[in-house]
Copies of this chain bind each other. A is one copy, B any other.
Amino acid sequence: MITEANIKNGVNVDQLVETIGAVQKDPSLAKFEFRTKNNWIDGGHCVTSAKSFYGVGAEDTTRKETFTMEADHPQVLLGEDLAPTPAEIVLHALGSCLTGAMVYHASANGIDIESAESSLEGGVDLHGFLGLDADIRKGFEGIKVRLKVKSDATTEQLENLAKFSPVFDMLTNPTPVSIEIVK
């Protein structure tokens, strides 16, 4: 007997339901740890590699490729503009995560997503970063996301699904960051 996988919006819903069932049986399977290594090149230019991670109760053995990602700064911010800025990379993470979360939760709820595209904007006042005004924050004052979706679901439903995004949570709620400097 040949059975077809139940795929919706590119997501294998059978596997998603299995994953939820497995986590409900053994909560420890839900623990993940992601890791990156970052190397400074010079100025504001860095390269990151990402490969190993922990999840579903074990070190991952399936990922074959080491992903590399670069960051730099435009000339007006004293860089050579060889790669996007960390601020743009945050927008990339957020846009991808909101969309992915919406698509995964739509799939689990039987909602079709035909297409999705978004534009993101983040404003920042450099008085914060430059140390010129302690009352002005160093990061984005705020981020605006405009997410255009073709779907039968309502805008309210889609917004609620997108807000399952882990990166949305990391930005809108404080995420503790511990820094250990080693000489």
- Residues of A whose CB lies within 8 Å of any CB of B are 9-12, 15-16, 19-20, 23-24, 27, 30-46, 48, 50, 53, 55-56, 60, 62-63, 65, 67, 69, 71, 73-78, 81, 83-101, 103-105, 113, 115-132, 137-151, 155-156, 158-159, 162-183
Contact = CB atoms under 8 A, between A and B. Distances in A.
Given A11-B78, A182-B147, A183-B151, A95 B138 contact: no
Ranked nearest first, the 4 interchain pairs of A and B with the lowest CB-CB distance are A10-B42, A38-B95, A10-B43, A139-B170
A173 B137 contact: yes
A23 B130 contact: yes
Contact of A11 (B20, B35, B44): B44
A87 B37 contact: no
A147 to B, nearest CB: 5
Contacts of A132: 20, 23-24, 30
Tell me how many chains of this kind the complex includes: 2
Contacts of A148: 181-183
Given A88-B36, A90-B93, A183-B150, A43 B103 contact: yes
Given A88-B36, A173-B137, A104 B44 contact: yes
Of A90, A120, A144, A169, chain B has the most CB atoms within 10 Å of the CB of: A90
Given A30-B127, A62-B81, A95-B46, A35 B173 contact: no
A31 B146 CA distance: 21
Contacts of A183: 148-151, 155
Nearest to A176: B142
B173 A119 contact: no
Given A86-B93, A177-B171, A62 B46 contact: no
